[in-house]
Amino acid sequence: MSVEPLVLLWPFMVFVALLLIIGIYCMLATYNLIRALIGIEILIKGVTLLIVAVGYVSGNVAMAQALVITLIVIEAVVMAVAVGVVLGIHTHKNSLDIRNIRSLKG
C-alpha cells in the first residue's frame, strides 16, 4: 500500500468523525423526534462516507460502491417507516416531544 491514499484519507476520517459526533449529539440532545431522525440521517451519511473512503484506500472501490448502494436503499426504507411512525405518533398525541409520548403502551 502506498502512502498517497493514506494522505488523502485523513481529511475524510476527520470529516467522518465530525459527522458521527454531530449525529450522535443530535440524537441524544433533543427531545424532538424529527431532530432525532435527522441525527440518524447524519450518522448514516458518515458511515457511507467511511465505506467509500476505506474502499478507495483498500482498492476495492466496486465492493464499496455496492455496499453504499445497499446502505442507501436500506436507509430509505428505514426512514420511510420511521417517518410514518413519527406521523402516527403526532396524530395520536399531537406532539413530537419524546417526554409526552413515553406514556404510550402496547
CA atoms of 5 and 64, how far apart (whole Å): 15
Amino acid at 99: R
Q: Is residue 15 part of a domain?
A: yes
- 36 close to 30: Cβ distance less than 8 angstroms: yes
- The total of structural domains in the chain comes to 1
- 59 close to 47: Cβ distance less than 8 angstroms: no
Mean pLDDT (the chain) is 91
Write down the pTM of the prediction: 0.87
- Tens-place pLDDT, residues 66-99: 999 999 999 999 999 999 999 999 998 899 998 8
Mean pLDDT of 6-30: 92
4 pLDDT tier (thresholds 50, 70, 90): confident
Position 40 scores a pLDDT of 95
Question: Which structural domain, as residue segments, surrounds residue 79?
Answer: 3-101
Q: Is residue 106 part of a domain?
A: no
CA atoms of 44 and 5, how far apart (whole Å): 23
CA atoms of 87 and 74, how far apart (whole Å): 20
Position 1 scores a pLDDT of 59
